[in-house]
Amino acid sequence: MPLSIQEQTMLADSVGAWVARESPVTAFRRVRDAADPLGFDPAAWRSIAAMGWAGIAISEDQGGAGLGLAAAGLIVAGLGRALVASPLAATIAASAAILHGGDEAQRRLWLPSIAEGTAIASIACDEGGHHDPARLRTKAERVASGWRLSGVKPFVAEGSAATLFVVAADTGLFLVPADTQGLAREPRSMMDSRGHASVSLDVTLPADARLSDADLDTVLDGVRALAAAEMLGLADAVFAMTLDYLRVRVQFGRTIGSFQALQHRAATLFTRIELVRSCVAAALAALDARADDSRSLVSLAKAQAGDMLNLVTREAVQMHGGIGMTDEHDVGLYLKRAKMLEGAGGTSAFHRDRYARLNGY
Amino acid sequence: MPLSIQEQTMLADSVGAWVARESPVTAFRRVRDAADPLGFDPAAWRSIAAMGWAGIAISEDQGGAGLGLAAAGLIVAGLGRALVASPLAATIAASAAILHGGDEAQRRLWLPSIAEGTAIASIACDEGGHHDPARLRTKAERVASGWRLSGVKPFVAEGSAATLFVVAADTGLFLVPADTQGLAREPRSMMDSRGHASVSLDVTLPADARLSDADLDTVLDGVRALAAAEMLGLADAVFAMTLDYLRVRVQFGRTIGSFQALQHRAATLFTRIELVRSCVAAALAALDARADDSRSLVSLAKAQAGDMLNLVTREAVQMHGGIGMTDEHDVGLYLKRAKMLEGAGGTSAFHRDRYARLNGY
Amino acid sequence: MASGSEGFRRASRDWLGTHFPRALAGLGPRYMSSETPPEPTPAFLAWKRAIAEKGWGVPTWPCQYGGAGLSEEEAAILAEEMAAAGAWTPIGGMGVMMFGPTLLEYGTEQQKLRHLPGIADGSIRWCQGYSEPGAGSDLASLQCRAEDKGDHFLVNGQKVWTSGAQWSDWCFALVRTDPSDKRGGISFLMIDMRSPGVTVKPIRMISGSSPFCETFFDNVEVPKDNLLGATGQGWTIGKRLLQHERGGISQMSSDVPPLHALALTHLAISDDGRLADGELRVRIARCEMEALALALTVARIQSESEEGGPPQATSILKNVGAWLAQERAELMLEILGTRGLGWEGAGFAAPELEACRQWLFSKAVSIYGGTTEIQNDIVAKRMLGLKDA
Amino acid sequence: MASGSEGFRRASRDWLGTHFPRALAGLGPRYMSSETPPEPTPAFLAWKRAIAEKGWGVPTWPCQYGGAGLSEEEAAILAEEMAAAGAWTPIGGMGVMMFGPTLLEYGTEQQKLRHLPGIADGSIRWCQGYSEPGAGSDLASLQCRAEDKGDHFLVNGQKVWTSGAQWSDWCFALVRTDPSDKRGGISFLMIDMRSPGVTVKPIRMISGSSPFCETFFDNVEVPKDNLLGATGQGWTIGKRLLQHERGGISQMSSDVPPLHALALTHLAISDDGRLADGELRVRIARCEMEALALALTVARIQSESEEGGPPQATSILKNVGAWLAQERAELMLEILGTRGLGWEGAGFAAPELEACRQWLFSKAVSIYGGTTEIQNDIVAKRMLGLKDA
């Protein structure tokens, strides 16, 4: 049941209103300056959950809204516009993984508590510095009581806050509660000041911990498409901020937005953003519809979003000039989060390569 | 003995004066419209040879000027500025191959007649549509009387006019006079209206036809570096023509060169051209000096020249607008020759790949 | 999907199965966007007659004007079925893409009944009289005069880049009816190309063909009936027409075979099945991904404007479409290498020669229909609200 | 090469062998262009003293000002020998790169003797007082006032982006001595930062460090001796100084290890020895080739200006240098992946944290020293002769 354009607009508007009221960029600055390893404000997260957004993609029978990833993308983009620090994107992607690959018991065990915001979940996949799901070294072996998992995931998003990890190992995906004995985590301070952690695993899990029907690539495509949605939100905000500056900053006796070279570059940024808007919507809709071309479309969205946001944030800093290089100005905060998202779930180069392979060349 | 900057300027000036007097672009148009498979005006070629340019890179003891490829590059660039149709670049590259890889007898047999312009020479290497010297299918086999060569070179530059071919086969380079029995050629009408031909070989050659000391890559580097020099000449002319147009064409009540977006793009073109000027000079000097890094420098020059000229010619057409798309305007003639040179001796992609390999990655 | 539309899908498929000649499958680009189209065959002519009678060359136009009166949804189904069958419409050109939609919007009933059917059945060709030697990007400074002589206008002046003027029956032209008012002094005329005083001179292009002309008007009498809209409304109508042109350009490259298929047949392949040339592979992927992104954006903008969203994004789509057409032509030559640089005669296959001409012609795509620079100006000023000093 | 220069080469090598501490080999970038330089070690301080005594921090400056009076050829040999030994000069900064050469050109003998030796031995640090909040790219609209009070100027106003002002002893500043003449009313002052009325406020940058400050002048008295050139000559002198800055930026990245070496240690390699990521490999090649092209161009332009050729190409070199610095920083992060996104603390190696900070700081290179846009304006107008409307 895709949302109609009117419904999409209504949802986006309600997200915008919430952000303006509850969590503008100043809120992110407070979280950052507090330097709590959690990486977000628990009160904001409770408010997000109360809006029903944690369960947006969870089926109605498990306490969710059943609106799928397309609706989730609108929310994640809307929060991205103001750099809202929250574990929402990670949790939604994990919920989609359980919905997609879990059995009835697993769904019942986790999805209702995710939907009400009491469980925070995150997918732990990458191991080295690069996204390379085809070569995971985390081992999962059958043992008498179930499974034995060992490995290290050095940069897990929301790793400090998560109560549940969906762990990608060499032989499949596993549900690992954060309080499992043998799971250790240590916060990692990263450029975007969000709640990353290194998670090491040397754990024994029950036999039913495995997401038996999960396909790793499909699970990761949720992460990727939501990252692209957040990137779109960042781009919208940075571009609006830059246009505002172009309209008011005066040099040589005129607004700098009256210089044609900057006008044409602004037109290019607008073009790139509008193309990504279509790609993100198509990718999320394809995932919801389990369409044949969903992989191609997700790689399209992530690659285009990466190139676009790299350009938009760099041009934003350049057009702001020196002021854009200061910590006091918001544009640098977007630049940092953008770089983090550029690599999340694979860089643009990774996804161009994947797109070409999917299309046979 | 590299030329001093003053000597370089004098040589370039004398080439410029000759071109203005003997062979401006109108002369190329006459050659083109005559559609003679030869692809150049024999009178112009006699005049070029009389200037001593055919022997510019040939040692003085063989009747040349002994000034090396660096000086040759200045001449080739100067002729390129006015699209002078002549077999000069091909002949110089072939003369450098004989000088580099030939024995005393081979040099004596060919170089004096090349220097005086009575022999026209060309290197025949490529076979398919792509420059791929590592996988040549032209076969050279030892036979009792010497060598047996067989193969097809479908697009040989100056193939209709050449009296001597330097043929690259799987086991080396061979001197093949155009009147050798079993050599057949057929003109090919190509985009740049120059004298290309398909050359098929089923010939028997004497034992001394092989350039025993020649290294194919070194021989091809001469072709490549001279192509880059010609490309630089084309770029200089096209850019000058475009600047002139920007200064005089009026739209919206002002010269289009007063629009900042075009000004900045013109600045970029200027920058790209100046970088290539340095790369071409360095590559030719390194070949003359047989320097260790000559291969890297030649690939640098050819790759940068290719990207630069592609950009410069496209921007030139764009900035000229509709008039630049007409056959009547010269810019299209440069666009066509530029595309031909882009692939000659390997595209920019070929040379970036080669540069990376030479540098171990 | 409603069952009515399934019925329409089946009916379309059946009709195409009966009427579309198999021999023409996939030849759309060769016939319709080639620099050197083939001579019309009997099969081609029969197909053109059949589709014209059905009104499917302009499926959404009302039936009384030669269309089929289809809804957007039905037209989309028809397009899908035609694509699936390799079918394509032989009815195209400026009349269908640009002038027809404008006439539908601004014409009187009498004008529509007179001019649309000939466009719809492909029997009447139209050319565009906009640019002049001194008025290219700065179109509003056009000088071609139309004096009001009571029952007719007397037209004097010169147009340039009148595409296909040498084969056209009619010309839609912007003319100056008031020298004292730059934009408000422009009117939109329909001019019969057989009128006394019209002279056409083809312009040879760098690609060797002459798809454009210079057109001279020397005391040409144009009846008042042939004024579209009101006197002085030409600038508004003319700009609206350009939006149709830009929309058309952004969708141009959708019905061509993918580059990677060509690359796989022409180039070396690694052991793992990838194109061995890593740089070219990335460029092809970029180009194909950009094409898909553009197609998705065209679809999104169309659906948003149907639901009342922002409609005026044609400028950005035109620029992306132009980039794509040019990059695609560049990549064709990269893939073919020297084989794609042949001009004519022996030694080259027809598609190789065609690639070369297309590469040359593609350089015009960022110039005609308003240059890339003009589109960027429009976006910056109208959509982004950046003002000049 | 003359035998004299061979002698100089040997002598340089010997001297470096004796005085350059092996432990510092290759650490130049860490000490001199890092966002988080290490604390000076005893070896570092000894090396700085030794090279200062020799005058080789500024080898071509005359001996009486603390240089070594070397010819350009000798300085080139010295640079080669230093590179071969992994040696580098610990004497740098704005005094050496920008202000010193300007002072050599415009200063009185007394001014040179007073200020150059402290720059040459690295004991006196200078900062730049150019930009103001309302005068960035449009530098000539600066407002910081210097009133002529007979034996001194009274300076009032604010500067911004004064780099290292919090650690600097002196500031070279552009000030307004005549409000009625935009460019002709600007003068060039040397201001002692310990003067009463100078206040410095560091600006925190996105990279977390504070290499720049806001500097406030409140009734600061500057003796007339500290005017460089004549009153009103500041714009000319100030622009000349910027050329030195731009020249410096274009040569910045020459002493850093090649990207491909880093890539080979961090990334997957194919069976044929190439980097497996074909797209990244091409970007690295492009970046390294562009760096070589820039180095060749710097050398060519230098040799041409020595022989009387065109000297004013610093603007294009500055832009290429800025692109390179930024692309290199981007590629460092591509190579390191998530490991290059760490901010501080456990889990990251020092070079990884450094790469992240450098990436952020690199975004300033196309802004300071005149933005890329300003350089393009200069090229278009002064070198290409394109005029404004």
D286 to chain B, any CB pair closer than 8 A? The answer is yes
Phi, psi of A182 (to 5 degrees): 95, -5
| Residues of chain A above pLDDT 90, percent | 98
Q: What's the whole-number mean pLDDT along residues D311-318?
A: 78
Q: What's the whole-number mean pLDDT along residues B1-29?
A: 94
Phi, psi of A186 (to 5 degrees): -140, 130
Name the pLDDT band for D252 (thresholds 50, 70, 90): low
Q: Is the predicted ipTM greater than 0.85, yes or no?
A: yes
Rounded to 10 degrees, what is the CA torsion of D225, D229, D232, D235? -120
pLDDT recorded at residue D309 = 47
pLDDT digits (tens, 9 = 90+) for C81-99: 998 999 999 998 899 999 9
* Residue showing tokens 């990059």: C327
Contacts of D39 (CB under 8 A, 6+ apart): none
Q: What's the whole-number mean pLDDT along residues B317-344?
A: 97
Q: Is the pLDDT of residue C181 over 80?
A: yes
Q: What's the whole-number mean pLDDT along residues B285-310?
A: 98
A189 to chain B, any CB pair closer than 8 A? The answer is no
Q: How far is CA A85 from CA A27, A59, A333, in A?
A: 8, 25, 12
Chains that touch B (3 or more CB pairs under 8 A): A, C, D
pLDDT recorded at residue B315 = 98
| Residues of chain C above pLDDT 90, percent | 79
pLDDT recorded at residue C253 = 47
Q: What's the whole-number mean pLDDT along residues B343-352?
A: 98
Nearest-by-Cβ selection for C205 from B193, B325, B347: B325
Suggest the residue from D265, D297, D372 to mutate for an interface test with chain B (most B CBs closer than 10 A).
D297
Q: Which residue has the higher pLDDT, C28 or A330?
A: A330
What would you report as the CA-atom Rg of chain C, rounded to the nearest whole angstrom? 22
- Per the CB < 8 A criterion, the answer to whether D367 and D319 are in contact is no
Contacts of A255 (CB under 8 A, 6+ apart): A246, A247, A248, A249, C387, C389
Contacts of A240 (CB under 8 A, 6+ apart): none
Residue of B nearest to A264 (CA): B261
Question: Of B155, B218, B148, which is closest to residue B176 (Cα–Cα)?
Answer: B148
pLDDT recorded at residue C29 = 79
Please name the helix (run of DSSP H) or strand (run of DSSP E) that holds residue B151, with its range, or none. Answer: strand B146-156
pLDDT recorded at residue D250 = 60
Give the count of beta carbons closer than 10 Å to the beta carbon of residue B7.
14
pLDDT digits (tens, 9 = 90+) for B128-155: 899 999 999 999 999 999 999 999 999 9
Q: Is the pLDDT of residue D253 over 80?
A: no
The pTM (predicted TM-score) of the whole model is: 0.91
Question: Of B236, B277, B274, B243, which is closest to residue B257 (Cα–Cα)?
Answer: B243
Q: Is the pLDDT of residue C304 over 90?
A: no
C277 vs B contacts (CB less than 8 Å): 349, 353
Q: How far is CA B70 from CA B73, B93, B231, B286, D386, in A?
A: 5, 12, 15, 9, 33
Rounded Cα–Cα distance for residues D82 and D149 (Å): 49
pLDDT digits (tens, 9 = 90+) for A266-278: 999 999 999 999 9
pLDDT recorded at residue C301 = 87
**Angle (CA) A254 A258 A260, round 5°:** 135
Rounded Cα–Cα distance for residues B329 and C252 (Å): 27
Q: What's the whole-number mean pLDDT along residues C57-80?
A: 94
pLDDT recorded at residue D255 = 56
- Per the CB < 8 A criterion, the answer to whether A90 and A121 are in contact is yes
Nearest-by-Cβ selection for B154 from C277, C279, C347: C347
What would you report as the CA-atom Rg of chain B, rounded to the nearest whole angstrom? 20
pLDDT recorded at residue D310 = 47
- Per the CB < 8 A criterion, the answer to whether B285 and B306 are in contact is no
Distance from CA of D11 to the nearest CA of B (A): 27
Residue of B nearest to D314 (CA): B271
The SS3 call for residue A166 is strand
pLDDT digits (tens, 9 = 90+) for A314-354: 999 999 999 999 999 999 999 999 999 999 999 999 999 99
Q: Is the pLDDT of residue C252 over 70?
A: no
Q: How far is CA C290 from CA A330, A352, A358, C282, C326, in A?
A: 31, 11, 16, 12, 12
Residue D77 corresponds to which amino acid?
A: I
B→C interface, C-beta within 8 Å:
126, 128-131, 154-155, 186-193, 198, 250-253, 259, 261-262, 310, 314, 317-318, 321-322, 324-328, 332, 335-336, 339-340, 343, 347, 349, 352-353
B132 to chain A, any CB pair closer than 8 A? The answer is no
pLDDT recorded at residue B170 = 96
Q: Which residues pair with D152 in a beta bridge?
A: D223
pLDDT digits (tens, 9 = 90+) for A188-211: 999 999 999 999 999 999 999 999
Distance from CA of B94 to the nearest CA of C (A): 21
B264 vs A contacts (CB less than 8 Å): 261
Question: Of D175, D173, D168, D189, which is closest to residue D118 (Cα–Cα)?
Answer: D168
- Per the CB < 8 A criterion, the answer to whether C262 and C330 are in contact is no
CB contact under 8 A, B270 and D387: no
Q: Is the pLDDT of residue D248 over 70?
A: no
Sign for the pseudo-dihedral over CA of C129, C133, C139, C143: negative
Q: What's the whole-number mean pLDDT along residues B226-242?
A: 98
Residue of B nearest to A265 (CA): B261
Contacts of D222 (CB under 8 A, 6+ apart): D146, D152, D153, D154, D155, D189, D190, D191, D192, D195
pLDDT digits (tens, 9 = 90+) for B190-225: 999 999 999 999 999 999 999 999 999 999 999 999
pLDDT recorded at residue C256 = 66
| Residues of chain A above pLDDT 70, percent | 100
CB contact under 8 A, D160 and A322: yes
pLDDT recorded at residue C28 = 86
| Residues of chain D above pLDDT 90, percent | 79
B259 vs A contacts (CB less than 8 Å): 260
Q: How far is CA A6 from CA A16, A70, A74, B308, C304, in A?
A: 15, 14, 13, 48, 10
C278 vs D contacts (CB less than 8 Å): 278-279, 281-282
pLDDT recorded at residue C31 = 85
The SS3 call for residue A142 is strand
| Residue D260 structure tokens | 């491909």
CB contact under 8 A, A267 and C376: yes
C273 vs A contacts (CB less than 8 Å): 357, 360-361
pLDDT digits (tens, 9 = 90+) for C136-157: 889 999 999 999 999 999 999 9
C281 vs D contacts (CB less than 8 Å): 278
Question: Of B41, B311, B310, which is closest to residue B161 (Cα–Cα)?
Answer: B41
pLDDT recorded at residue C310 = 47
pLDDT digits (tens, 9 = 90+) for D91-100: 988 999 999 9
* Residue showing tokens 């916060």: A187
Average pLDDT score over chain D: 92
- Give DSSP secondary structure letters for B103-115: -HHHHHHHHHHHH
Alpha helix locations (H) across D96-153? 100-106, 109-120
Residue A34 corresponds to which amino acid?
A: A
pLDDT digits (tens, 9 = 90+) for C90-139: 998 899 999 999 999 999 999 999 999 999 999 999 999 999 999 988 99
Distance from CA of C359 to the nearest CA of B (A): 10
pLDDT recorded at residue C313 = 78
Q: What's the whole-number mean pLDDT along residues B318-335?
A: 97
| Residues of chain C above pLDDT 70, percent | 95
Question: Of B88, B92, B71, B70, which is closest to residue B79 (Cα–Cα)?
Answer: B88
pLDDT recorded at residue C26 = 85
Q: What's the whole-number mean pLDDT along residues D341-346?
A: 95
pLDDT recorded at residue C309 = 47
Suggest the residue from B274, B351, B359 to mutate for an interface test with chain D (most D CBs closer than 10 A).
B274
Residue D214 is among the residues annotated as catalytic for this protein: no
Average pLDDT score over chain B: 97
The SS3 call for residue C377 is helix
Rounded Cα–Cα distance for residues C332 and B208 (Å): 42
CB contact under 8 A, C342 and B353: no
| Residue A312 structure tokens | 């938009």
Give the start-end residues of each E strand in D83-236: 126-129, 145-148, 152-163, 170-176, 186-192, 198-203, 212-223, 227-228
pLDDT recorded at residue A200 = 98
C376 to chain A, any CB pair closer than 8 A? The answer is yes
pLDDT recorded at residue D26 = 85
Q: What's the whole-number mean pLDDT along residues A252-257?
A: 95
Q: Which residue has the higher pLDDT, D46 or D310?
A: D46
pLDDT digits (tens, 9 = 90+) for D232-243: 999 999 999 988
